[in-house]
Chain A
Amino acid sequence: MSYQAHFKVWRGDAEGGGLRDFTVEVNEGEVVLDIIHRLQATQAPDLAVRWNCKAGKCGSCSAEINGRPRLLCMTRMSVFEESETITVTPMRAFPVMRDLVTDVSFNYAKAREIPAFVPPAELGPGEYRMAQQDVERSQEFRKCIECFLCQDTCHVVRDFEENKAAFAGPRFLMRVAELDMHPLDAADEAGIDRKRTAQEEHGLGYCNITKCCTEVCPEGIRITDNALIPLKERAVDRKYDPLVWLGNKIRRRGQ
């Protein structure tokens, strides 16, 4: 059942680095993170990698496997041919700290820019009443494990560093959508216009719905269809967005 696999793992730091070759044992049922751990235990004790739950629930072990953003703990070795060379590199959109570990502070900075849930003034703790069907939309977005793979893959920032200041990224635009769809969020009463700020402060207009974020989401959240497009539609009466205009036109034509 065991075999020797060929791996290329990026090693280095902010100064630079490169791919290193390893030949390493693989056993039945293992995932890529198991192999990285075996490298640590047997060949490279100082190989840096983030991980935590090893069950796809915490979103720590994000990296790129053969160039695709993936969780190391949820990528089974059985999806590769035994003869295949497997290349593991750090997430490309974030600065490397060491080996497979990147500086993801961009995401924490963006999180702080989104105004928090505003509790309704007239309801005390225990008095909230919401229908299941009304909470389900936001619940889908709250499945997010903050692995930041969607942030990593989104071409708005992946290839254009200069866009980072003006663009919150799919994860945090989805957070705006989540709050906007929360049945009891009292943002309006507090003078917060979530739709307008999505457009004007968090860069919703940069998104041209290529759905790359949805494709890499390990939780299967339909980020584009269920969060970003509806948010664009809700924002549209506040601000002109050519994609929504076009989308609406195409849809009408189909009817």
Chain B
Amino acid sequence: MTQVERQAWDVVVVGAGGAGLRAAIAAREQGMRTAVICKSLFGKAHTVMAEGGIAASMGNVNEGDNWQVHFRDTMRGGKFLNHWRMAELHAREAPDRVWELETWGALFDRTADGRISQRNFGGHEYPRLAHVGDRTGLELIRTLQQKIVSLQQEDEREFGDHEARLKVFQECTVTRVLKEAGPAGGDGARVAGVFGYERESGRFFVIEAPSVVLATGGIGKSFKVTSNSWEYTGDGHALALLAGAPLINMEFVQFHPTGMVWPPSVKGILVTESVRGDGGVLRNSEGKRFMFDYIPEVFKDKYALTEEEGDRWYEDPDNNRRPPELLPRDEVARAINAEVKAGRGSPHGGVFLDVSTRMPAETIKRRLPSMHHQFKELADVDITAEPMEVGPTCHYVMGGVEVDPDTAAATGVPGLFAAGEVAGGMHGSNRLGGNSLSDLLVFGRRAGLYAARHAADVGADRPVVAAADAAAAEAEALRPFSAEEASAGPAGGPVENPYTLHQELQQAMNDLVGIIRRHEEMAEALHRLAGLRARARRAGVEGHRQFNPGWHLALDLRNMLLVSECVARAALERTESRGGHTRDDHPAMDRAWRTVNLQCRLATEEAQAAEPVGGAANGPVGVGDTGLAGGAASGAEPVAEPGLGGLVSDQSGQIALARKATPPIRPDLLQLFERDELVKYLTDEELSR
């Protein structure tokens, strides 16, 4: 093995978006030496794209709001698949996390009496989103970034070194979470650090640390039309899988109803939900406000049935019901999809979103400045004078690393934590707008806090990285430079262009595991993924390791392929429609599936031998008659990566599925709902408890 730079820290945070930075602040405030590793420059994380706001029941605009109402809205939005404890902690702690930002210098928009203003958003009963125009995510990132700088200034005064206890390793990519060596290196082995490379120089490094927090965000770059940036390649999801930690709820992918559809080069870029929250309406090519035709049964009594009532709600929310444009995102996205399919779409294949006839031009410019700017600059559309064209775009993955709700600890890998989009469970089958930024802060803080405590508990008994693992990680990272060897080998074929492979992957996921799904298409997707996986082993790059985007993409493909398989397998398995998972062949929500989480693990030969697929013991009565599709092990050949979680290279897949019972909801929380509502979601068995 060549000389790889090694450093020792107490806590490593992978990712520098809202969750990662909040985790780093928490860990550092516990006195732990904390390293943050991020792929972009410090302050450029995808969190800046969040527009609408942070959901927190401060009750500044409507005093009726409190954490219980927020909890209730969150569970409804997620169709009761949310981990109730995460939803509870989130609703309880979000206000404190927002107020704390003010003490770090954040400047939110104000109410008339000088408090933090709050705006309406889909699925939220009261105006709840703290906001700064439509650039709330930028304010969040900048505030956390500046808080980190202030902590570094403290350290400079105390130690003469800004980076004594908190350092950001920017433009670095982590390719493996490393675990301790020796006989304990198998199940239950502790986290020992991370392996990565500097994007600028291509130099490899190992950071040894007893705690690793994954805060890498989402997976959207596996889909063709997405609001997500290049960073969203599912790195943390894949790192967790490869380290032996399971993912849950991966079938639930949120397609935001309103992305730009034209011009082609910006297709997918987000149009904030605030447009609708502030009064924007959706119309089809016939000029009809079609959302009134798409109010689902479970929400019938909560939404206006006429345009007149919906319009009155903006002024008088206490005596009117909200317009159906503000249904949860999954409902609106499906409705748009259906209108376009029925031939009532806009010229470029979306529908019309109009604020121009709803608000004076000056109000639009003041309340939605980024949207005004974005359409003007990118599409030559003046939203104060004409409607926007919008359509669904892949926006967010509800699924992620299975975590303990209180500590954010991953399952079965001591020292591994996850927070933010990369963690699963909080949002159930569908996330409400505004609940993401609050999620980042609530669980980012918790992950940092408990990661720090774990590191403190480990004390001097720090796990040691196995040298062979670091060497294997290096060999894996270098493989794209010797694609000719793989090409000439037994599983040979031409050297592949990573950009081409990526485009084919995005097309397959978009077409076959997109917003509306059916069995045959997902089976086809799995077939194509297997083909892409074989070809990705021959992905080759030119040039050298210094800032080489082709090489970076070749390495990211491993993660995107792993995560895409999780999505496709879990989606194929769940034979119902719920939240961000819509089956054409199983269009109804099935209460029996409420008690089931689908858990994805890396398929290894040992795991498959020890844990035969099927999971019928946990399965609900009357569903899942087909058994599990995941990772049949026949003919599996582990790849030559001794010591690391080996990827199974066969055609049948790398992911094994299991069914896990969802934890029963605590009775006092259930009592926050009317029984009439609960019967729509819970099984008879749960109701009779």
Contact in complex: A29, B262 (CB < 8 Å): yes
Bound CA span A43–B45, Å: 28
A152 at the interface (CB under 8 A from B): no
Check B90 for interface membership: any CB of A closer than 8 A: no
Interface size on B, residues (CB 8 A): 71
Is B482's beta carbon under 8 Å from chain A? no
The interface residues of chain B lying within 8 Å CB-to-CB of A27 are: 264-265
Is residue A248 within 8 Å, beta carbon to beta carbon, of the partner chain? no
Q: Are A126 and B99 in contact (CB under 8 A)?
A: yes
Residue in contact with A53 in the complex, picked from B46, B133, B379, CB distance below 8 Å: B46
Asked if B107 is at the interface of the complex by the 8 Å CB criterion, the answer is yes
- A199 interfacial contact with B, CB 8 Å: no
User: Is A128 on the interface with B (CB-CB < 8 A)?
Assistant: yes
B95 at the interface (CB under 8 A from A): yes
Within 8 A of B (CB), among A46-97: 46-60, 74, 76, 97
Smallest CB gap from A119: residue in B:
B103
Contact A97 B41 (CB under 8 A): no
Contact assessment for A41 and B499 in the assembled complex, using a CB-CB cutoff below 8 Å? yes
Stretch binding the partner chain, chosen from B145-153, B354-362, B680-688? B145-153
- When chains A and B are docked, how far (Å) is the Cα of A116 from the Cα of B500? 46
Task: Return the 4 tightest CB-CB contacts between A and B, nearest first.
Answer: A29-B263, A117-B105, A116-B150, A46-B543
Contact pick for B105, options A41, A112, A182, CB 8 Å: A182
Contacts of B132 in A (CB 8 A): 139, 142
Tell me which residues across on chain A come within 8 A of B550, comparing CB atoms: 40, 45-46
- Which of A117, A131, A135 is within 8 Å of B146, CB to CB? A117
* A40 in complex: contacting residue of B42, B269, B499, B546, CB < 8 Å: B499
| Chain A residue total in the interface (Cβ 8 A) | 58
Answer yes or no: A16 CB below 8 A from chain B CBs.
Answer: no
Supposing A45-B541, A52-B231 touch, asked if A60 and B44 sit within 8 A by C-beta, the answer is yes
What is the chain A residue whose CB lies nearest that of B503?
A41
Q: A29-B265, A58-B44 are in contact. List 20 more A-B contacts (CB 8 A).
A: A27-B265, A34-B265, A55-B374, A57-B138, A58-B45, A60-B40, A74-B378, A98-B200, A115-B153, A116-B147, A116-B150, A119-B105, A125-B100, A126-B95, A126-B96, A129-B114, A131-B114, A132-B109, A139-B107, A139-B109
Q: Kindly state whether residue A173 has any CB partner on chain B within 8 Å.
A: no
* Distance of A129 Cα from B102 Cα, bound (Å): 10
**B152 and A112 contact, CB distance less than 8 A:** yes
Minimum CB distance partner of A123 in chain B:
B103
Chain B neighbourhood of A9, CB < 8 A: none
Query: Closest CB of chain B to A7's CB: distance in Å?
Result: 16
A160 at the interface (CB under 8 A from B): no
Nearest Cβ on chain B to A228's Cβ, whole angstroms: 20
Chain A residue numbers with a CB within 8 Å of B105 are 116-117, 119, 179, 182, 185
CB-based contact B265/A48 at 8 Å: no
User: Which single member of A51, A104, A130, A182 contacts B230 (CB below 8 Å)?
Assistant: A51
Residues in A neighbouring B102, C-beta threshold 8 A:
125-126, 128
Can you name 9 A-B pairs with beta carbons within 8 Å?
Answer: A46-B548, A46-B551, A48-B549, A53-B229, A55-B374, A112-B153, A128-B103, A132-B110, A138-B107
